[in-house]
Amino acid sequence: MKLEIAVLSGDGIGPEVTSQAVKAMEAIAHRFDHSFTFKDALVGAIAIEKTGNPLPDKTLQLCADTDAVLFGAIGDPKYDNNPSAPVRPEQGLLRLRKELGLYANIRPVKAYETLLDKSPLKRKIIEGTDISIYRELTGGIYFGEKRLNDEGTIASDLCEYSKEEIERISHLAFKAAQKRRKKLTLVDKANVLESSRLWRKVVTEIATEYPDVGLDFLFVDNAAMQMILNPSQFDVILTENMFGDIISDEASVIGGSIGLLASASVGDTCCMFEPIHGSYPQATGKGIANPIAAILSAAMLLEHFDLMDEANAIKEAVEKALELNITTPDLNSLNPLTTEKVGDFIYDYILNPEDSNINF
């Protein structure tokens, strides 16, 4: 298969981890005889620095013209504590999601057998956890009208959803549940929010089209508690934009490191793949960032194009690295490897899974 991929590595550790993901895809192209072409473009703080715009037109055009986007991370501390900054790196990512119509963000969370003792949560709590979070990504409070009164003393962010916005991601979530353990949990705050009540109504209606999927509902506060008390009860979680943002960071604790969590953002015509972690500025250039979330995002890209053997080859290489403790300091305090070394192992393993001489 021929694929043209836009690479938006962004800020902080973004470039370091994304280059390992590109490397893993190059190994896949070689082993399975595909042709992947990578085209770099600017986004985030680095784009503001170079062009004044966190999402330059050229970048957006490239993303629209290519088959898929591989995204790194964005964000720089110099914007975080400056509420009056006229442009912010995050605006680049949010606009990209909106312009490309990436309404469904899929975040898998898994407790790897070999990492059960790395999580701060007890082994017996997290064992068997395998969740797929479907987070709505282009609506809700992130994109509703924002207001600040003239005195700068009253601010508001509107959380708005239409029936259509709820329907399109719900169908994807139900279809995913059908291929998994056939359970879908809608996370909302329907005891308080009108928008949540609309979610419940629409999702309940859609559920009749998927009679083999069991549907239940959880208020987001309870869901946050259940996520650390009994995460293996979940199969597919469906939720709105902000709840999904929060719940997915919380869920990352289960796997032992946020540096393991990948995501896919899909719409009707475009798709983008990115680790859920941020730009981790303190780690920039130190070679300590975990490249696995970025590498697994590349696996999700391959899955999206139905390249299942190829995606599995990446996942097997990652699982081997975890099993052999070929990991960065977030998972390995005794004998940590660098970002690049972990990427090298995964690259070599993809090319040569049988070669037991791989020596690390």
**Which amino acids are annotated as binding site for Mg(2+), given as ranges?**
221, 245, 249
Q: For ligand IPM, which residue of 21, 62, 93, 206 counts as binding (CB under 6 A)? A: 93
As measured in angstroms, the least distance from the Cβ of 215 to ligand IPM is: 25
Report the distance separating Cα 92 and Cα 41, nearest Å: 12
The structure tokens 């946050």 sit at 224
Active site residue 98: no
Report the distance separating Cα 126 and Cα 112, nearest Å: 9
> Per CB under 5 A, which region of 243-251, 303-311, 316-324, 325-333 contacts Mn ion?
243-251
Active site residue 249: yes
Active site residue 210: no
Find out whether 326 and 51 touch, Cβ atoms under 8 Å. no
Q: Kindly tell me which of 144 and 214 has the beta carbon lying closer to Mn ion.
A: 144
Estimate to the nearest angstrom the gap between the alpha carbon of 109 and the chain centroid: 10
Q: For Mn ion, which residue of 235, 245, 303, 310 counts as binding (CB under 5 A)? A: 245
> Per CB under 6 A, which region of 87-95, 122-130, 251-259, 283-291 contacts ligand IPM?
87-95
Characterize the bridge pairing of strands 183-188 and 155-157. Answer: unpaired
Given the residues 23, 110, 118, 189, the one annotated as active site: 189
Q: For ligand IPM, which residue of 136, 240, 245, 303 counts as binding (CB under 6 A)? A: 245
> Per CB under 5 A, which region of 21-29, 54-62, 244-252, 349-357 contacts Mn ion?
244-252
User: What are the structure tokens assigned to 272, written together?
Assistant: 């983008």
Given the residues 76, 245, 341, 349, the one annotated as active site: 245
Give SS3 for 67. Answer: coil
Given the residues 79, 103, 112, 142, the one annotated as active site: 142
Per DSSP, the residues of 223-285 read: HHHHHHH-GGG-SEEEE-HHHHHHHHHHHHHHHT-GGG-EEEEE-SS-EEEEESS---GGGTT
Q: What is the binding site for ligand IPM (CB under 6 A)?
A: 75, 90, 93-94, 245, 276
